[in-house]
Amino acid sequence: MNKLFRALAASAFVAVVASGCASGPQYKDVASSIPTLKKAQGRIYFYRSSSMFGAAMQPAINLNGQAVGKSQPGGFFFVDEPAGQYVVSTTTETEKTLSFKLDAGETKYVKTSVGLGLLVGRIIPTLESSDEATKDIEDLHYTGTPTAAASK
């Protein structure tokens, strides 16, 4: 009976954690449909690696105060924006922010990761290099709107 209980508990835990991970097509499946940038715009990729740690925390990612997506484990999405100053923010028990300048034709990569907090974890946005980010994104799932990659 004890073994059965442990097996059921382990199965339930795996199901809960797996349901928190991103689903959708992998980067390699959507890469060819990601449009080229318009001349006056830059692109910002947001991504989070696959990890069991903090999988239940999936706060909104805000760009200059507007929600543009969620920080989902194993997921990525992108937005195209005019050149300018940007502030990325995420909020769990505290707000974490990242500020940067985006130039026309430029691509920035914002990684969100889980940090330890007082009561719950925190989702922390950081800028990553193009080389590091493109390696990280290869195995992630697209979590943007289904038509965003094809229509931008």
Q: Please, are residues 75 and 25 in contact by the beta-carbon 8 Å criterion? A: no
pLDDT tens, the chain, 152 aa long: 444 334 333 333 443 344 446 678 898 899 999 999 999 999 999 999 987 677 778 999 999 999 999 999 999 999 999 999 999 999 988 899 999 999 999 999 999 999 876 666 789 999 999 999 999 999 999 998 754 444 44
Please give the full DSSP string across the chain, using - where no structure is assigned: -HHHHHHHHHHHHHHHHHHTS--S-BHHHHGGGSPPPPTTEEEEEEEE---STTTT---EEEETTEEEEE--TTEEEEEEEESEEEEEEEESSSEEEEEEEE-TT-EEEEEEEEE--SSS-EEEEEEE-HHHHHHHHTT-EE-S-TTHHHH-
Residue ranges and CATH numbers for the domains of the chain are 2-151 (2.60.40.2890)
pTM: 0.80
Return the pLDDT at 146: 54
The pLDDT tens digits for 106-147 are: 999 999 999 876 666 789 999 999 999 999 999 999 998 754
